[in-house]
Amino acid sequence: MKTIITYGTFDLFHVGHVRLLRRLKKLGDRLVVGLSTDEFNKVKGKEVIIPYADRYEILMACQYVDDVFPEDNWQQKRDDIIREKADIFAIGDDWAGKFDDLEDIVNVLYLPRTQNVSTTELKTVLRKIDQDKIDEVKNVASHLTELVSKL
């Protein structure tokens, strides 16, 4: 049995995540995912929208994922790979070169990301929507203030 291991936050689960997990699953028989905890994401400077328990449930419901475990820190990957008896460690190519030190125990692959979709882009759009709503409320408040002053 060939085991694939990967890591990620998987916040705002989207088609890019699905496509990555499908490609990873095709590499072997078993796909295990180290899911970054909310606390670890804070250490990484990432703000998550979906809490860990919900992201865990989403990943476990994905047909390509066989198991999910918490990722609490940068240093745990070596132990996780050994514990899971992973044959391949694969992750998006935005991490290219960052995990080459694991090649003594596992085959390391960096896969291209799905074009034109990312959680960061989704969060940017959501922030813009939020800002547009704030601007709209300010505009209405300004208009109301103007109307009240005329009374």
Beta strand pairing call for 67-71 and 30-36: parallel
Residues involved in catalysis? 44, 46
The residues pairing with 70 across neighbouring beta strands, listed in sequence order, are 35
User: CA torsion, points 10, 88, 26, 58, in degrees to nearest 10?
Assistant: -20
Q: Which amino acid is present at 100? A: D
What are the structure tokens assigned to 54, written together? 């919900």
Nearest to 118 by CA among 17, 48, 19, 47: 17
